[in-house]
């Protein structure tokens, strides 16, 4: 076995409580000579079976050479080592390809007629004549290296010395520069020239003025990149804050095996202008809930800037019920036309009849950021009433909810950039009059978004979704949900009519002769006749009215 000691001529062994030297090996026997001249002949099987047997100073068998490292060497170094392998083999066996080579032997390397010394001298003369001055001692040394380490022993190890990006930089300069870079993590971005000034000042404070000199500008800049590039110490202030907010590695990913086991919720400003009810063009805010196991967008609420707790509660309500087919949607968006096992699920949950192809996922744990909306008492109370655990992410730690952050980026790329009045992700990408291009109202854009989620997101293959039995095949969120439901099952949590209404925003006001007026819209029906002008039984005398700000057709 590689690396195991072997019994060879001249090695010392411990046997029978004494130290012996191996003098001969023949016919399964070993002849041992003790320090006092005593001689013993022992069967090898008996020697190895002795409880006190130990090889004291035997050379180790050469280990398997690191052949994979040969591919990392420069081609010239690798070819030189392989050429030496052919020369060594020819010296030892007479054949450049080794003992298995059936080609004719050259007379000067024939082991039958030439001694090893003569063959070594012949090889040295051959290489010297070819323009590579070599002595017989060098050939002998290369033979020993090859016997010990294989081809790796023939490599010019000057090419394998570890190299560092820091080169021969003064350690004091490296330490001071590291300190300046670490201190500047939370500061505004600056130039490399500023880093040089700060490093020079720090060295003067620590060692005295002019004691430690900085390298040239180009060398200093290379040193900065060598220290900072892999650790996120350069770049924009936002990138550096994001890097510093990450927990210390190694990172332990959260394994999610069932739909709803972990749902992430977050809000972001949409990179497009819409026309609000008052005619003003403004960027709306999008709040979504994303199921980590299936990457399903369980619900999405598009609203005017400023997420409120009622919007987050409304998102919960949308998650718990099937998404209805909206007027004008194609039949291809219906759940019965999708890959979801519609017939089997319909027998369990009758609410799925006529619904759109968006899974109904009941969350067990919701990860939110530290926004006051998601940690408000009303949102927490709504989650508790539905048996949902709320898990706030650490402050300023975007990677803690990286799935939903990445989904926002995908929505921006796949949907928002094709919308009129697209603004780009920052002001440097904004068009000359993006605000003037706004043509969609908030309700119209919301309708487009909901349709895109069902046909453009839920049916689109996601590279991060892989079935354990088909790891080479990327699945869509609907396909992943169907696969997991087949294993985990589907238990509907019915959200009753009254429960759904309780999650909607509420206003308390009178019921007048003309009906109910909310946001300059008037709602009236004959069922209000007994209550017109009447006080409610509550202390303030006002009636509790729930409404959906994103579906203003009824209250």
Average pLDDT over residues 161-183: 84
First-last CA distance in the chain: 82
Average pLDDT over residues 220-248: 79
At residue 512, what are phi and psi to the nearest 5 degrees? -90, 180
Q: Comparing C-alpha atoms, which of 271, 299, 275, 295 is closest to residue 285?
A: 271
The answer, yes or no, to whether residue 3 has pLDDT greater than 50, is: no
| Cross-strand bridge partners of residue 365 | 389
Q: Which residues contact 335 (CB under 8 A, 6 or more apart)?
A: 322, 342, 352, 355, 356, 357, 358
Q: Comparing C-alpha atoms, which of 449, 457, 455 is closest to residue 271?
A: 449
pLDDT, one tens digit per residue, over 173-185 is: 999 999 998 888 8
- Give Cα separations from 369 to 20, 240, 261 (angstroms): 74, 20, 18
Average pLDDT over residues 277-293: 90
Supply the pLDDT for residue 38. Answer: 87
Report the SS3 class of residue 223. helix
pLDDT, one tens digit per residue, over 101-158 is: 667 788 888 888 889 999 999 999 999 999 999 999 999 999 988 888 888 888 888 8
Supply the pLDDT for residue 307. Answer: 63
Q: Comparing C-alpha atoms, which of 303, 296, 280, 307 is closest to residue 335?
A: 296
The whole-chain average pLDDT of the chain stands at 85
DSSP E strands: which ranges in 354-499? 365-368, 389-392, 462-467, 470-475
Percent over 70 (pLDDT), the chain: 93
Most confident of 33-42, 56-65, 225-234, 261-270: 261-270
Q: What is the dihedral of CA 183, 186, 189, 195, to 10 degrees?
A: 0
- Give Cα separations from 297 to 81, 153, 417, 454, 508 (angstroms): 58, 58, 19, 9, 33
The answer, yes or no, to whether residue 416 has pLDDT greater than 90, is: yes
Supply the pLDDT for residue 294. Answer: 93
Supply the pLDDT for residue 101. Answer: 65
Token reading at 300? 């999405």
What CATH fold (topology level) applies to the domain 263-497? Nucleotidyltransferase; domain 5 (3.30.420)
In eight-state DSSP terms, residue 159 is: G
Is the pTM above the cut of 0.85? no
Taking the C-alpha atoms of residue 386 and residue 317, their distance in angstroms, rounded to an integer, is 10
Is residue 29 within 8 Å of residue 42, measured between CB atoms? Answer: yes
* Displacement of CA 438 from its chain's centroid (Å): 37
Say if residue 131 is exposed, middle or buried (CB neighbours under 10 Å; 0-12, 13-18, 19+): exposed
pLDDT, one tens digit per residue, over 212-224 is: 999 898 999 988 8
Dihedral sign, Cα of residue 177, residue 179, residue 181, residue 184: negative
Neighbouring C-beta atoms of residue 154, cutoff 10 Å: 21
Supply the pLDDT for residue 2. Answer: 42
Token reading at 335? 């759940």
Q: Between residues 163 and 360, which one has the greater pLDDT?
A: 360
Average pLDDT over residues 524-546: 91
Least confident range from 58-67, 90-99, 199-208, 526-535: namely 58-67
Extents of the domains making up the chain: 12-55, 67-160, 171-245, 263-497, 505-546
The answer, yes or no, to whether residue 328 has pLDDT greater than 90, is: no
Q: Which residues contact 131 (CB under 8 A, 6 or more apart)?
A: none
Q: Which own/partner contact pairs does 402-409 have at CB distance under 8 Å and 24+ positions apart?
A: 403/264, 403/290, 403/292, 403/295, 404/264, 404/265, 404/266, 404/288, 404/290, 405/266, 407/288, 407/290, 407/295, 407/297, 408/266, 408/268, 408/286, 408/288
In eight-state DSSP terms, residue 62 is: P
Q: Between residues 395 and 117, which one has the greater pLDDT?
A: 117
């Amino acid at each position: 076995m590689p690396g195991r000691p072997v019994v060879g001529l001249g090695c010392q062994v411990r046997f029978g409580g004494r130290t012996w030297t191996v003098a001969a090996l023949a016919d399964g026997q070993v002849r041992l000579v003790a320090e006092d001249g005593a001689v013993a002949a022992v069967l090898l099987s008996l020697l190895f079976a002795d409880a006190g047997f130990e090889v004291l100073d035997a050379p180790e068998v050469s280990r398997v050479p690191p052949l994979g490292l040969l591919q990392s060497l420069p081609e010239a170094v690798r070819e030189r080592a392989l050429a030496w392998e052919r020369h060594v083999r020819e010296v030892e066996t007479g054949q450049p390809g080794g003992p298995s080579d059936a080609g004719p032997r050259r007379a000067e390397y024939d082991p039958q007629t030439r001694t090893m010394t003569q063959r070594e001298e012949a090889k040295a003369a051959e290489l010297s004549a070819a323009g590579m001055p070599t002595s017989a001692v060098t050939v002998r040394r290369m033979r020993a290296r090859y016997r010990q380490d294989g081809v790796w022993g023939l490599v010019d190890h000057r090419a394998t010395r570890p190299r560092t990006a820091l080169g021969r930089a003064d350690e004091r300069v490296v330490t001071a520069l590291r300190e300046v870079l670490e201190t500047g993590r939370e500061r505004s971005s600056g130039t490399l020239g500023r880093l040089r000034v700060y490093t020079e000042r720090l060295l003067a404070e620590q060692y005295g003025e002019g004691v430690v000199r900085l390298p040239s500008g180009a060398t200093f800049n290379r040193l900065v990149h060598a220290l900072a590039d892999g650790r996120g110490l350069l770049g924009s202030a936002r990138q550096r804050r994001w890097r510093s907010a990450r927990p210390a590695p190694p990172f332990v990913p959260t394994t999610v095996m069932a739909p709803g086991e972990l749902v992430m919720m977050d809000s972001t400003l949409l990179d497009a202008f819409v026309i609000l009810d008052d005619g003003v063009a403004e960027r709306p805010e999008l709040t979504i809930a994303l199921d980590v196991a299936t990457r399903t967008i369980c619900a999405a609420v598009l609203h005017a800037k400023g997420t409120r707790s009622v919007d987050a509660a409304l998102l919960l309500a949308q998650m718990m019920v099937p998404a209805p087919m909206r007027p004008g949607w194609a039949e291809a968006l219906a759940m019965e036309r999708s890959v979801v096992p519609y017939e089997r699920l319909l027998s369990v949950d009758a609410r799925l009849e006529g619904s759109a192809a968006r899974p109904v996922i009941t969350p067990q744990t919701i990860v939110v950021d530290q926004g006051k909306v998601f940690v408000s008492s009303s949102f927490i109370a709504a989650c508790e009433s539905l048996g949902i655990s709320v898990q706030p992410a650490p402050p300023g730690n975007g990677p803690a909810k990286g799935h939903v952050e990445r989904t926002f980026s995908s929505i921006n790329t796949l949907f928002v950039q094709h919308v009129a009045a697209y603004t780009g992700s920052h002001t440097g990408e904004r068009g000359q009059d993006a605000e003037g291009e706004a043509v969609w109202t908030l309700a119209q854009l919301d309708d487009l978004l909901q349709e895109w989620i069902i046909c453009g997101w839920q049916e689109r293959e996601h590279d991060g979704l892989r079935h354990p039995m088909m790891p080479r095949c990327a699945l869509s969120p609907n396909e992943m949900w169907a696969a997991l439901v087949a294993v985990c099952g589907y238990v509907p949590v019915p959200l009753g009519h009254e429960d759904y209404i309780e999650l909607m925003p509420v206003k308390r006001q009178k019921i007048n002769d003309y009906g109910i007026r909310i946001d300059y819209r008037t709602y009236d029906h004959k069922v209000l006749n007994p209550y017109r002008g009447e006080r409610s039984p509550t202390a303030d005398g006002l009636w509790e009215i729930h409404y959906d700000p994103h579906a203003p057709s009824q209250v």
